[in-house]
Amino acid sequence: MIQAVDTSVEFAGIPLRNPVLTASGTFGYGTEFAPFLDLRRIGGFVGKSLTLEPRFGNPPPRIAETPSGMLNAISIENIGVDAFLNEALPALPDGVVVIASCFGTDPEDYARLAQRLSDSPRVAGVEINASCPHVKSGGIEFGQDPKLLGELVGRVRERVSGPLIVKLSPNVTRIAPMAEACQEAGADGVTLINTIQSMEVDVETRRPVLSNVLGGLSGPAIRPIALRMVWQASRAVDLPICGVGGITSAEDAIKFLLCGATAVQVGTTNYINPMAAGEIADGILQYAERHGVSRVTDLIGALEVNSPSAS
């Protein structure tokens, strides 16, 4: 007889029925995926990053395929916080865990926006996008400087009493100081990684394939980098970590849990398979049953390494 598995986790003070979320920018505002996936089947979803006012992104071309990945330079195009709170949120069924993502060009923008979002009873937590690699102002500056990042998180923390999560940039030399800055400033959790700043060139036209020249690389190509950074961050801070980057299967998700992540976010693969997050949640349960794991939380940080000093 197969023992029942407890798939629930708590991430940054947010109870989740299982550790699978969807990543900001890859799942719209939730309703777009309703024909394919019951959002109550997964832990929850992180909405597309919001700004105080509606925002238009970069002109096309702003998405391009790469080997084992995708480049994007959409630049935080979104409907704005008012439309999200008044139209998008009410359209979601009850019981869906919503984490709202916010983006600003200065700490006060972030703080005002995060406060408005956290005041909504439908928003379980706020993830601040401090690391967008293809926006000309704001994110990348905060995401690459631990002092600025700490000041940003501290300013938002003053205005937000609920769960506060910080999405970190991989475009740094060392991830540990960035996670430490978030912990010291009062964050409840960190998400890593965001996309990796990259570019691609069309040799026939001798031009970049993206109108913005630079974009963010996502997809399976970045998974080993994401795993490495989750592992390093988990050894540097006590904060719960949400791992993201190239997850396409339950096996990929479990790798992140073993490296120290409490939860995971499914991103680019949503474009290929809109049912992926649900399938990954089911696959984690099946893995636990197959290996005699009674609680998914037992997998968190359970990676076995040859040397305890490995880093």
The Cα 110–Cα 38 span in angstroms is: 31
Supply angle C-alpha 255, 259, 260, rounded to 5: 120
| Distance from C-alpha of 302 to C-alpha of 27, rounded to nearest angstrom | 30
State how beta strands 263-266 and 20-22 pair.
parallel
238 class by beta-carbon count within 10 Å (0-12 exposed, 13-18 middle, 19+ buried) = exposed
- Helix axis angle, 250-258 to 223-236, nearest 10°: 30
Residue 122 half-sphere exposure, CB side, CA atoms within 13 Å?
18
Q: Please identify which of the residues 102, 132, 242, 259 carries the catalytic annotation.
A: 132
- Is 132 part of the annotated catalytic residue set? yes
What are the φ/ψ torsions at residue 152 (nearest 5 degrees)?
A: -65, -50
Closest CA to 175 of 159, 196, 199, 155: 196
Cβ pair 47, 102 in contact under 8 A:
no
The answer to whether 130 touches 158, Cβ cutoff 8 Å, is no
Active site residues: 132
